[in-house]
Amino acid sequence: MGSSKGSEPVSGLDGCRVLVVEDDYLLADDLKKELEAHGTKVVGPIANLGVAQDQVSRGGFDVAVINVRLGNELTWSIADELMRGNIPFGFVTGYAAGGIPERFRHMVRWEKPCDMSKLTEDIRLLCAVSKTKR
C-alpha cells in the first residue's frame, strides 16, 4: 500500500477537493497523505456511512473516492447520490468488477491494495471532469 516516495506532483490536482470515504485506517491515511502531497484538499477521511451521507448532502468537494463497504454497510446509497449530483467518483474495493452493481460498472475502480500512482492519475482525470462541470 503506502505512498510512492519522491513522486512528482501531478498537474491538475492542485486545489481539487477530494472526499475520501474509507474505513481502513492505514489505507485512508495513505490516501490522504498521497493526495495532499499532490496539492488536493482532502475532505475526510470518513469511515461511517451516516457521516459520509451527511457530507455528500453538504457538498464541499469536487470528486470522491469511496470504499464499497464501510464495516457491514455497502455504500451504494452514497454512489447513487454522487451520480444524481453529477459528481465524479471512483470505488476503492476488494470486490471484483462483477460484485459492483451494473449501474456503477462504468465508474473508476481501484483494487486493494491500491496502486497510488494510478489512483492519483485517475483522480487528476476526475478533477478535470469536475472542473468542466462547474
pLDDT along the chain (134 residues), means of 10: 45 88 95 94 96 96 96 95 95 82 92 91 91 65
> In the prediction, which pLDDT does 104 show?
92
**Residue 79: inside a domain:** yes
How many structural domains does the chain have? 1
**Residue 4: inside a domain:** no
Q: What CATH number is associated with residue 107?
A: 3.40.50.2300
Round to whole Å and give the CA distance between 36 and 28.
12
> In the prediction, which pLDDT does 51 show?
97
**Residue 87: inside a domain:** yes
Domain extent at residue 105: 17-133
**Residue 6: inside a domain:** no
Q: Which residues 6+ apart lie within 8 Å of 26 measured at CB?
A: 1
**Residue 12: inside a domain:** no
**Residue 8: inside a domain:** no
**Residue 106: inside a domain:** yes
**Residue 98: inside a domain:** yes
Round to whole Å and give the CA distance between 116 and 103.
25
Greatest Cα pair distance, the chain, in angstroms, is 38
